[in-house]
């Protein structure tokens, strides 16, 4: 998992443009009859409104102690219950199966290898009730765009530089102060292959959080899968 704790201190700025995912995951939680789990819960940006919308505690996992401490403080201030655990999503285990597991803000892209993702998907399947759902989103990678901005300094929101490593299917986001976060992209067929090996069934693939049809011009994968048995 690639996440430098220096990014935790800038997370609000970094995630400021991502708001459409909140009502989407809230809607899935409201439709779920059972426990709700968020992978890479961060500072509770999504989990807190999900807890408010669903009226139940959200179980949140993250590898960042800094983010988990902030999530606890924010949940307390909001008057909601989050059950937070310092845990790598690849080691997901639950005391009882969940009705919904979701992973927002492209966090699955922090897993560097197919093996890491397969292990995570298989852990998710084992942790779901029959009929339970797994949802996540990730960007549709644009090689031309990545090559064009490789090495360029970006000043929007959090000043950083993007480095593109085509041979490793990776981009690095390097803050001006030196912290690095890496993302390894995946294609649609790779995501579908992960569902297949993990024993999950695709329920929906959207091109956006408002239920847009996924097509050639889509720039976001929004997946909802289901455990059948």
pLDDT digits (tens, 9 = 90+) for 161-195: 999 999 999 999 999 988 899 999 999 999 999 99
Query: Mind listing the pLDDT tens digit for each residue in 27-80?
Result: 999 999 999 999 999 999 999 999 999 999 999 999 999 999 999 999 999 999
Residue 1: pLDDT band with limits 50, 70, 90: low
3 pLDDT above the threshold of 80: no
- How many domains does the chain fold into? 1
Contact call for residues 163 and 172 (beta carbons, < 8 A): yes
Question: Is 130 contained in some domain?
Answer: yes
Question: Is 27 contained in some domain?
Answer: yes
Question: Is 218 contained in some domain?
Answer: yes
**What CATH number is associated with residue 15?**
3.40.50.150
Question: Is 162 contained in some domain?
Answer: no
Contact call for residues 54 and 26 (beta carbons, < 8 A): yes
Please, is 150 exposed, middle or buried when counting C-beta atoms within 10 Å of its C-beta (0-12, 13-18, 19+)?
A: middle
19: Cβ–Cβ under 8 A, 6 or more apart, which residues? none
Question: Is 71 contained in some domain?
Answer: yes
Q: Please count the other Cβ atoms lying within 10 Å of the Cβ belonging to residue 32.
A: 21
pLDDT of residue 115: 96
Which one-letter DSSP state was computed for residue 150? T
Percent of the chain surpassing pLDDT 90: 90
pLDDT of residue 75: 98
48: Cβ–Cβ under 8 A, 6 or more apart, which residues? 58, 71, 74, 75, 78, 80, 82
Token pair 């579908």 in the structure block, residue? 192
Question: Is 166 contained in some domain?
Answer: no
Question: Is 195 contained in some domain?
Answer: yes
Q: Which domain holds residue 192?
A: 5-139+187-227
Query: Mind listing the pLDDT tens digit for each residue in 115-174?
Result: 999 999 999 999 999 999 999 999 999 999 999 999 999 988 899 999 999 999 999 999
């Amino acid at each position: 998992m690639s996440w430098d704790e220096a990014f935790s201190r800038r997370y609000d700025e970094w995630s400021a443009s991502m708001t459409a995912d909140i009502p989407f995951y809230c809607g899935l939680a409201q439709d779920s009859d059972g426990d709700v789990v968020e992978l890479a819960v961060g500072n509770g940006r999504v989990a807190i409104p999900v807890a408010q919308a669903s009226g139940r505690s959200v179980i949140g996992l993250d590898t960042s102690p800094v983010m988990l401490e902030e999530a606890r403080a924010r949940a307390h201030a909001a008057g909601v219950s989050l059950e937070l655990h310092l845990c790598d999503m690849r080691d997901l285990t639950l005391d009882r199966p969940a009705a919904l597991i979701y992973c927002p803000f492209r966090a699955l892209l922090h897993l560097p290898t197919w093996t890491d993702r397969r292990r995570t998907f298989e852990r998710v399947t084992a942790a779901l009730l029959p009929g339970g759902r797994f949802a996540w989103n990730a960007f549709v990678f644009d090689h031309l765009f990545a090559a064009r901005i490789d090495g360029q300094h970006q000043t929007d929101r959090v000043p950083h530089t993007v480095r593109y490593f085509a041979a490793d299917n990776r981009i690095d986001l390097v803050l001006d102060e030196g912290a690095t976060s890496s993302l390894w992209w995946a294609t649609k067929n790779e995501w579908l292959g992960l569902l297949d090996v993990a024993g999950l069934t695709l329920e929906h693939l959207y091109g956006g959080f408002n239920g847009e049809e996924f097509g050639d011009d889509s720039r976001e994968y929004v997946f909802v899968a289901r455990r059948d048995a």
